[in-house]
Chains A and B, each alone.
Chain A
Amino acid sequence: MAALIPSTPRERRAFRLSALALLVALPLAVVASSYEDVMEWRSSQELNAIVAAPGKSAVYAGAEWRLERVHRLNEPGSAALVVIVEFEATVKDPAAFAATCNVALTDASKRRWKPQFLAPSIGRRVRPEAVDRPRCGSASLRAVKAGDTVRMAEAFVTPPDIGDIDLIVSLSTARPAYLVLD
């Protein structure tokens, strides 16, 4: 035990320096070992919004995005509202645009509706030209050139009392930034 207790001034100094170095080394070790995980988590989150005001476009993930039309369709005999959103992106950087795309609809209450995999039947009957458009996920899979305009649509099933809606788009190449089309 005696050997572990610093006795000479030189040993004491080394002991204190080592103790101080630990204060730096331990947090550094934590940061170094978790850095990749934190960055991976960050790239899966939607943290900072890029907002396109109504009728305006916004630049996001290598493209200029614009909301074109919103159709609200009432299926007779159903309590739900079908919302079809048509939007377009003019691609500037095809590499940034070719990414997995997440889409959701939100309203003032901050609830989120995910898109329907298959467009509801009323959409196919009333707005066939809209539901024939590719969805965001499949549009970004196709080869696009700079300057191309990609027209997309997504369908949602929501309660009938849904108010002002925003379309939220996020691409894996641009996260944690995400796009809000007002």
Chain B
Amino acid sequence: MIRVLGSVAGLVAAIAILYALQRTMPGYADITKPVTVHGAIGDRLMARNFELTATKITLAQRIVLRAGTKEQVFETTGLWAVVEAQAAARHESVTITAASWRGPNGSRYAMSQRFSTMPGLLPSERLEPGLPRKVLMLFELPESQVKDATILVSRTPFTPIDNELHIKANLPTPLFVRNVARIIRGTTAGEWRIEIQ
């Protein structure tokens, strides 16, 4: 009798353990997911290949790109978030191609691709070790997704077992939305400055 009970208990325990293992087994996406580095605006964050400090977020109703005397206006039905940052490679020249804005409901907005000639955009600037440079990330967002957001930056859109920066975008309430963020192209390649109205 005791032997039978022992066998049944063993069987039940084995089933329980196997079930627990099955339920907790991480999927392939979990095993290879990015390793996050958390921080806030103004923090110098270190990823494996690059370092980046998001310095400022400006919300604006339109973006104007000025090159010489020519101006190009980019309107939106939502809001523009202009994120300024300082970035450099760490050990080897690198290009950072993926940045997105994760809103409070989890929606992710990739950088706007409407700017073909904008200077200083993060994915179009090659970063060099020891040479920090000013870069821009431009996001086009619905107003509801601006508050309590996180900016995610990684070397490529799919970065298995590599770092992804998670930068908390703490914006004041009520939102301070500018009329125009004017980005003015400099004289050397990739150089720019920003004027706000």
Chain A residues within 8 Å of B, Cβ to Cβ = 75, 77-80, 104, 110-114, 116, 120-121, 157-159, 161-162
Contact = CB atoms under 8 A, between A and B. Distances in A.
B131 A112 contact: no
B130 A114 contact: no
B56 interface: no
Interface of B: 90-93, 126, 128-131, 188-189
Contact of A113 (B90, B129, B188, B189): B129
Contact of A157 (B90, B91, B92, B131): B131
Contact of A78 (B92, B126, B188): B188
Nearest to B131: A159
Contacts of B92: 104, 111-114
Given A112-B91, A112-B92, A114-B92, A77 B129 contact: no
Nearest to B186: A77
21 contacts: A75-B188, A78-B188, A79-B131, A80-B131, A104-B92, A110-B91, A111-B90, A111-B91, A111-B92, A111-B129, A111-B130, A112-B93, A112-B129, A113-B93, A113-B128, A114-B126, A120-B189, A121-B188, A157-B126, A158-B128, A158-B131
Given A111-B91, A112-B91, A159 B128 contact: yes
Summarize A's interface: helix, strand, loop or mixed. Answer: loop
Contacts of A77: 188
A118 to B, nearest CB: 9
A159 to B, nearest CB: 4
Nearest to B90: A111
B187 to A, nearest CB: 8
